[in-house]
Amino acid sequence: MTIQPSDKPLLEWAGDSLAIGLFEDAVELTGELATLDQKFSGVLKELIAEEEFKGKANSSIFTRVNPGSPVRKLILVGLGKPDELKLDTLRRAAAAVARVGKKQKSKILGFSFPLWNNDPAASAQAIAEGVELALYQDIRFKSEPEDKAQIETVDLLGFGGQEAAIARAKQIVSGVNLARELVAAPANAVTPITLAETAQAIAKDHGLQVKILEREDCEKLGMGAFLGVAQASELPPKFIHLTYKPEGTPKRKLAIIGKGVTFDSGGLNIKGAGSGIETMKIDMGGAAAILGAAKAIAQIKPDVEVHFISAVAENMISGRAMHPGDILTASNGKTIEVNNTDAEGRLTLADALVYADKLGLDAIVDLATLTGANVIALGEDIAGLYTPDDAVASQLEKAAQTSGEKIWRMPMEEKYFEGLKSGIADMKNTGPRPGGSITAALFLKQFVKDTPWAHLDIAGPVWTDKENGYDSAGATGYGVRTLVNWVEGSGE
Ligand code: BES
Ligand code: MN
Ligand code: ZN
């Protein structure tokens, strides 16, 4: 599929489906649209009246045009109130159009959309992202391909000169789709071994540096918390460290860390019936996000150095498994009483954070499908943002605003650390149920000494059970777009 800018006047465009974005309560046809309506013998006006189309955000309608005309179908998509227009409104509207266009078996699709904030580059990028994200289809595990109808050409009318913005959208979506594929693939397809191979393939394809630490390397570094989680599995742990270095002196040096538990059985505190154990292939969603971001960043080439880190393992049971109550020593020397083997993500992240903290960077962000408690607090769509650092918090909030991925800052209530006090070790890994996502974040904070740091709990948005905006049911690739924006804009 080619997405391209077009300077063809609306009235002269020819193709299968023409999509027009309309604001709420401004659906009376004036100017060019009135002429277009005349050209198609009043079909637009009739459609709007018949369907009582009001231009509300997330609404769309379409109609056939007389046979023989240069446009076969017209799609109207609502954009809500003009003064409330967000970049994400364009992204979502574009996704809705792409879905309708595909259903209609359109090969050539035209977009006549307004600008967000008088910014043609940001608008073109958002529209292209919406189209690309919505049309992604995962048929890897089907024995027969489903439908063959494909959109071939998308013309963005009035966006002449925005080739770079559209290319950027493609680069970012290539990262999102990699993350989606990694999360959606089951735990017998994505393992610590294959994730390490994926990191190596990204490094090879895009010229990044990569280092994979094996179990023995991690032992030498004293990563007892990470290795405790890995010890029951038949599969070896892999500690991934991928690095992007720009040409010349980097403006900033950053690390993004992802939780990479390729399957979370819970360990001996095994997940019971109704716990969603069969969905726990998603527990490497953080690792998927950082690898997706690596793929996008390697193509976009910002002048920022970025370290992509994940301590990857399976949380399993066997005769070698951690016993509930075991005491582990992390690589910063802190001791942890494992009062619940199902709170494993924070154990893997502890050693990853210590490792990143020693790299002498300007900031660290980790992403993790860390707690069910975060889903209870914020629902399925919103990630929790936990950080003691106001500057990093506002950088991430800004990045998420542009990407359309929802985040919400949560409190780091120090008093709750009391819930992690242990009688025998420095801390327990699990506190009481209330505020469970906050104690998890406070646990992570014990492993960062020197670097500004933020944690995103993505347990909700990593997956969607039903179609949601530009995401189809399944893995969302959550985090990639926000990370790319953060890396590029964090110095501002
Ligand atoms: N991977 C889970 C968290 C999770 C839950 C992710 C639902 C996605 C959807 C994590 O390792 C876990 O098991 N957390 C426990 C922590 C508890 C034992 C303190 C939880 O949230 O119940
Ligand atoms: Mn768990
Ligand atoms: Zn987990």
**DSSP secondary structure, 49-109, as one string:** HHTT----TT-EEEEE--TTSSEEEEEEEE---GGG--HHHHHHHHHHHHHHHHHTT-SEE
- Per-residue pLDDT, 174: 98
- pLDDT (mean) for 169-181: 98
Q: What is the pLDDT of residues 22-74, one digit of tens each?
A: 999 888 899 999 999 999 999 999 999 999 999 999 999 999 998 889 999 99
Of residues 69, 71, 49, 51, the one with CA closest to residue 61? 51
Give the mutation target among 371, 378, 439 for probing the ligand 1 site: most ligand atoms within 8 A of CB.
371
pLDDT at 259: 99
Amino acid 394: pLDDT: 98
User: How confident is the model over 214-243, as a mean pLDDT?
Assistant: 99
C-alpha span between 172 and 183 (Å, rounded):
17
Cα dist from 40 to 64, 68, 322, whole Å:
10, 11, 71
Residue 148 has pLDDT above 80, yes or no: no
**Could you report the per-residue pLDDT of 371-389, keeping only the tens digit for each?**
999 999 999 999 999 999 9
Residues of the chain with CATH 3.40.220.10: 2-157
Whose C-alpha lies nearest to ligand 1, atom 14? 371
Q: Which CATH class is domain 174-489?
A: alpha beta
Segment 179-201 shows an average pLDDT of 99
Is pLDDT at 182 greater than 80 in this prediction? yes
Q: With contact defined as beta carbons under 8 Å apart, do 97 and 20 qualify? A: no
CA 352 – ligand 2 centroid, Å = 17
- Ligand 1 centre from 280 Cα, in Å? 9
What does the alpha-carbon distance between residue 415 and residue 428 come to, in Å, rounded to a whole number?
A: 15
DSSP state of 468: B
- pLDDT, one tens digit per residue, over 266-310 is 999 999 999 999 999 999 999 999 999 999 999 999 999 999 999
Q: Is the pLDDT of residue 492 over 90?
A: no
Average pLDDT over residues 335-343: 99
DSSP per-residue letters across 271-319: --TTS-GGGGGGGGHHHHHHHHHHHHHHHH--SSEEEEEEEEEEE--ST
The catalytic position among 253, 271, 334, 358 is 271
Residue 188 clears pLDDT 80, i.e. is over it: yes
Q: For position 450, what pLDDT does the model report?
A: 87
> How confident is the model at residue 491, as a pLDDT?
73
pLDDT for position 145: 79
pLDDT at 86: 97
Looking from the CA of residue 436, the nearest atom of ligand 1 is 19
Name the residue with tokens 């403006």: 251
Pocket test for ligand 1, best of 277, 344, 370 (most atoms within 8 A of CB): 370
Rounded CA gap, 68 and 275, in Å? 57
Average pLDDT along the chain: 97
| pLDDT at residue 490, rounded to an integer | 77
Structure tokens given for 216: 């023995």
Nearest alpha carbon to residue 331 among 182, 218, 477, 196: 218
Q: Domain 2-157 belongs to what architecture?
A: 3-Layer(aba) Sandwich (3.40)
- Given the residues 91, 180, 346, 481, select the one marked as catalytic: 346
Which residue's CA is the closest to the ligand 1 atom numbered 8? 459
User: CATH 3.40.630.10 residue ranges in the chain?
Assistant: 174-489
Instruction: Tell me the mean pLDDT in the region 317-337.
Output: 98
Nearest 5°: CA angle at 309, between 306 and 313?
165
**How many C-beta neighbours within 10 Å does residue 406 have?**
17
**pLDDT at position 175, please?**
98
264 Cα: distance to centroid of ligand 1 (angstroms): 9
Ligand 1 atom closest to the CA of 264, numbered from 1: 1
Q: Which ligand is nearest to the CA of 478?
A: 1
What is the mean pLDDT of the segment spanning 359-365? 98
In this prediction, residues 443-456 reach a mean pLDDT of 98
Active site residue 271: yes
- Smallest CA-to-CA distance from 157 within 346, 48, 1, 8 is with 8
Lookup: tokens for 352: 């990853």
305 with 243: CB under 8 angstroms?
A: yes
| Nearest atom (ligand 1) to Cα of 371 | 21
The C-alpha atoms of residue 134 and residue 99 are separated, in whole angstroms, by 7
Query: Which strands, in side-by-side order, build the sheet including 327-329?
Result: 327-329, 335-337, 427-428
pLDDT (mean) for 221-247: 99
346 noted as active-site residue: yes
pTM of the model: 0.98
From CA 457, how far away is CA 438, in angstroms rounded?
A: 10
Pocket of ligand 1 (CB under 6 A): 264, 276, 283, 340, 342-345, 369-373, 375, 430, 436, 459
What are the φ/ψ torsions at residue 392 (nearest 5 degrees)?
-65, -35
Q: Contact, 368 vs 457, CB < 8 A? A: yes
CA distance 406 to 400: 6
Q: What is the predicted pLDDT for the residue at 465? A: 98
pLDDT value for 146: 75
The pLDDT assigned to 67 comes to 86
Report the length, in residues, of the chain: 492
C-beta of residue 473 within 8 angstroms of C-beta of residue 467: yes
Residue that has been written with the tokens 């637009």 in this structure: 44
Find the radius of gyration of the CA atoms of the chain: 24
Q: What is the mean pLDDT of residues 480-490?
A: 95
Kindly state the average pLDDT of the residues 400-418.
98
User: Rounded to the nearest 5 degrees, what angle is found at the Cα of 250, between the Cα atoms of 249 and 255?
Assistant: 145
Residue nearest to atom 9 of ligand 1 (CA): 459
Q: Averaged over 79-88, what is the pLDDT?
A: 97
Q: What is the distance between the terminal CA atoms of the chain, rounded to a whole angstrom? A: 35
State how beta strands 383-386 and 108-112 pair.
Answer: unpaired
Give the confidence band of 95 by pLDDT, cuts at 50, 70, 90: very high
Atom number in ligand 1 closest to CA 373: 21
- Residue 153 Cα to chain centre, angstroms: 26
